[in-house]
Every structure is written in C-alpha cells, then in structure tokens.
Amino acid sequence: MIHNTEEPRSAEAGVAQRLDRVPLGGFHKKLLMVSGIGWMFDSMDVGIVSFVVAALAKEWGLGPDQVAWIISIGLLGMFAGAATSGSLADRFGRKTIFQFTLLVFSIATGLCAVAWSYGALLVGRFLVGFGLGGELPIASTLVSEFSPARWRGRMMVLLESFWAYGWVLAALIGYFVIPQSGWRIAFLVGALPAFYVFVLRRSVPESPRFLLSQGKTDEAEAVVSMVERASGVTPPSAGSHGTRRQSVAVATESSMQRFMELWSSQYLRRTVMLWVLWFAITYAYYGMFTWLPTLLTEGGRGLTRSFAYVLIITLAQIPGYFSAAFLVDRVGRKWTLVSYLFLTAVGAFFFRNAGGEAEILFWGCFISFFNLGAWGVVYTYTPELYPTRARGTGAGWAAAFGRLGGVFAPLVVGQMIGSWGVGYESVFIMFALVLLVGAVNVMLLGEETKGRTLEEIAQ
C-alpha cells in the first residue's frame, strides 16, 4: 500500500523528542487524573449492571438466558462503539471523540433508570455500551501519545487502575444502595459522568501527534510548549526545533484505508496478536466478573452477603494494578502480560472448587489481582503498536474484536448453567483454557516495546 500520509519525519521527530524528554510534571498528573476519572465512571457503569442484574433476576423473574442478554447487549454496543470511535478519532481528534462518547454513555445510563420493560432496558444498555466502548480505546490512545517513553508503561497502567476504583464504587452502590433503594437509583448514579464532559472540555488538550498528522503545526507546537512549561522545561525558541516551518503531509486516508493498513505485512503479526489477546482477556473478564454477583447469590448466600464478597474481591484489583505498573517499565510489557494471564488462569482453575468463605475470597482475590493487572498492560501495549495515523483505528478495532468475546461469554455462561445444566466447575475450567490461549498467543507473537518511543515502534 502506498501512503500519501507518511509520518512527517522531521516535524514528527521534533514533537516526539520534546514530548519524550520532559519529566513527569503537573501536566501529566492532571491528564492522568482527568482521563482516569472518566475511566472510573466507565468502570462504575459496567460494575453497576452486574449488581443490577442480580436484583432484576429476582424482581422481574428473569431466567439465566435473559440475564445474559442484559449483560451481552451492552458489550455488543461496546463492539460498535469501539469499532466506530477509533476511525473517528483518527479523523476528528482524540479529545473530541473522547468527550462525545462519555456524554453518550452517561445519558443512556440515566435513561436505563426509567426502563419500563425488558426490551427498553436492552435498548438502553446497547446505547450505554456504544458510548463506553468508544471511550476506552480513545482515552488510552490520548494518554499514550502524551506520555514520555520511559514513563509510558507506568502512566498507562495507572490510567487503567482507575477501573478498579470504579468497580469499588459499583460494589459500594450494590451493597448500600440497591438492597435499600432499588436498581433504578443505581442507574441514576451512573448517569453522573455527563457533567464531567464540561471538565474534560477545559482540561484536556488535543494530542500534538494527531494535530501534526493533520498539518496543524502551530497548534501542535503550542500544545508541546504548554506541556514543557508545565513540566519545568523551557520551550526552544522558534526555528530551533523540528516543528515550525516544516512541510507536513496531512493524513487523508479513508477509514477503510486505515483499517486495511492494520493487515499490511508490516502490522499483520501485531494485529493478529492483539485481536486474540483482546478476545481472550475480555471473554474471561466479562464472563467471570459480570456473573459473579449472580452466581454467589444463587449459591444461597443472599443478595447483601454476596455483594459484600464481591466488594472484597474487587478491592484486590487495586494492588494488582500497582504491581503491574511497577513491572511494566522494568520487566517489560510482553512478559508481565504473559505471566499475569497465566496466573489468572491458575486462579480460575482453582476457583471452580472453592466452597468455604475463605476459599472463595482467596481465589476470587487472586483472580482479581492478576486479571486486572493484565488489563493494565493490555491498554499500555495496544496503542503502542501502530503509527499515529492509524493508532486510534488500531486500538479501536482491537478493543472492538475483544468486545465480541465479552458478548459471547455471558451468553455461553447463561447457556451452560441454564439450558445445558452444567456446574460452575466447567465454567471456570473454560475460562482458564481461554486465558492460557491468550498467554501463549502473546508469548509467541508479541514483541517488547519497553523504553522505545512510539515512532521507533511504528517503523
């Protein structure tokens, strides 16, 4: 494939070198906090629905197959959102699409609170998934493009760690709100992120790498200079660096051309590895965690007690993220990811026979620790493997394919414990095998990106 959008060598190099040389400062902390809080609200919404379906199953008399569709329809929306938003972000900008998707999922969550029927709830959950699925890969792309190379892994895992805080909030809502006030109030709380859009509008600048790809050299220069000043670095004078007065090729590829580039000889191996990885980890995660409150409740532990278990298990995500953040820039992306996926599979295998409270909590926390640590590395790894012109498209489509795993997993679990009548032991053996496939896939096809600039990786 011949491109008229080749990365502008000198200008891009000037921007990249300046972004990579700045120390972590106030700007990076602010970016991480602003993006992370949006990420937390996303997680809270996903977590809330796992508690809501446990209550709805009793209130509306829903069977396992119907519960599975409430979960899966949102993930189907996430597939559509991720596939669409990546290409839009490569055309219109990371910040614009980030704000739009956050607004869509927040408003749709509020509409779910007034759902009058099972069908209406399904429509609402699809729209929620569309917004949520679009936001996550774009947020990771935006933060990745601002992060200095030597700190990028840690920044990305810390961004993903906000997912744990969202799940903790969801577990608290499930424990304190749903049993007393009902599931509709829980959805209203999930609509609060709509107000956060106005904060994002002021706080997050557009990626200078994206601006440069669009020929907006002066705007890119202004953003980079702002980042330097906020990090205690004096910007170079005009004309002494590689961004001003350069002829910059503007990205004019269509969405289809960007998608086809993912399958070119240069990126084929990476795309296959990422799509298998995303499918495996998403299948296991949504299959296990969205069903966990319902499985524990149906095990005779009661709604409130089961939610308390899930809250404790959810808290184990936080140290899991921090451990991955410590390792990802030391050991590297590839082997941290392989080991965490493998250990999650071990946890799933032993969780299948957990009977007493101590066993349930230990193996549940074990899975939570390593599975969410692996997620942190996945969001670090994915946007690193594509060039600026196709980074949003690549991250979006990898996430979209992964969401198909999220769609199928709850449906398969519903069939297994419903129509097929198999026990939970078989369900968790299945998850262990899927995770092992994901680990072997990264081990064989993955490459190490630790310490390399985004431009070096893309070559």
pLDDT in tens, 325-375: 889 888 999 999 999 999 999 999 998 777 777 888 898 899 999 998 999
For all residues of the chain together, what is the average pLDDT? 81
Better-predicted residue by pLDDT, 246 or 308 = 308
Q: Give the other-Cβ count within 10 Å of 357's Cβ.
A: 11
Nearest to 367 by CA among 381, 349, 390: 349
Query: Is 164's pLDDT higher than 50?
Result: yes
Encoding tokens for residue 161? 């760690």
Contacts of the segment 147-151: beta carbons below 8 A, 24+ positions apart? 147/28, 148/19, 148/20, 148/21, 148/22, 148/23, 148/24, 148/28, 149/20, 149/451, 149/452, 149/453, 149/454, 150/20, 150/329, 150/451, 151/24, 151/28, 151/329
CATH topology of domain 9-458: Growth Hormone; Chain: A; (1.20.1250)
**H/E element holding 418?**
none
**Residue 447 CB contacts under 8 Å (≥ 6 apart), including other chains:** 270, 334
* Residue 378: predicted pLDDT: 93
Query: Is 7's pLDDT higher than 70?
Result: no
Mean pLDDT of 117-143: 86
* Residue 243: predicted pLDDT: 43
First to last CA, the chain: 15
Least confident of 91-95, 247-251, 394-398, 444-448: 247-251
Confidence label for 245 from pLDDT (cuts 50, 70 and 90): very low
Confidence label for 241 from pLDDT (cuts 50, 70 and 90): very low
CA 387 to chain centre: 19
Q: Do the Cβ atoms of 178 and 52 come closer than 8 Å? A: yes
Task: Map out the domains of the chain as residue ranges.
Answer: 9-458
Q: Give the C-alpha distances (Å, rounded to integers) separating 458 from 140, 333, 384, 401.
A: 17, 16, 8, 22
* Residue 269: predicted pLDDT: 96
**Residue 274 CB contacts under 8 Å (≥ 6 apart), including other chains:** 381, 382, 385, 394, 398
Tens of pLDDT along 280-322?
A: 999 998 888 766 766 666 555 555 566 677 778 888 888 998 8
d(CA 291, CA 311): 14
d(CA 425, CA 329): 36
Query: Is 247's pLDDT higher than 50?
Result: no
Q: Do the Cβ atoms of 310 and 52 come closer than 8 Å? A: no
Residue owning tokens 């990365």: 7
Most confident of the ranges 108-117, 351-360, 379-388, 449-458: 379-388
